[in-house]
Amino acid sequence: MGVGGELDIASPQKVAEAFLGGLPEGVRRERHHYLHLLKALTEQDGRRRWHNLGVFLTEKDAQEAKRLVEPHVTMCDIEMISVVL
C-alpha cells in the first residue's frame, strides 16, 4: 500500500475544504485503513519523554524503522491508528 495503492496525496487546500465543507451529498466513506505510528521513549537527566517519530502505511515499514531506532532509545512502540478514506 502507498501512494497510488488506494491512498492519494491531498493538498492542504483539499484537506481544509473537505473538513470545512464536508462530503458532497451522496458520497460515503466506508473504506478505512490502518496507519502505524512509531513512538520512542527517551530518557535524559532522569526525565522520560515520548516522541512520535513517524507514520507508516505498512506494518513492515514500521517494524523496519523500529528495528533501526530501538537500540538508541529506552523503548520503542508501534501504535495502530484507524483512518477513514
Domain range list for the chain: 29-84
The Cα–Cα gap between 54 and 57 comes to: 10
Sheet holding 75-84, edge to edge: 47-56, 32-44, 75-84
**Would you place residue 79 in the very low, low, confident or very high pLDDT band (cuts 50, 70, 90)?**
very high
Is residue 80 within 8 A of residue 27, CB to CB? The reply is no
pLDDT in tens, 5-50: 455 666 777 767 766 776 667 665 556 678 999 999 999 999 999 9
Mean pLDDT of 56-72: 93
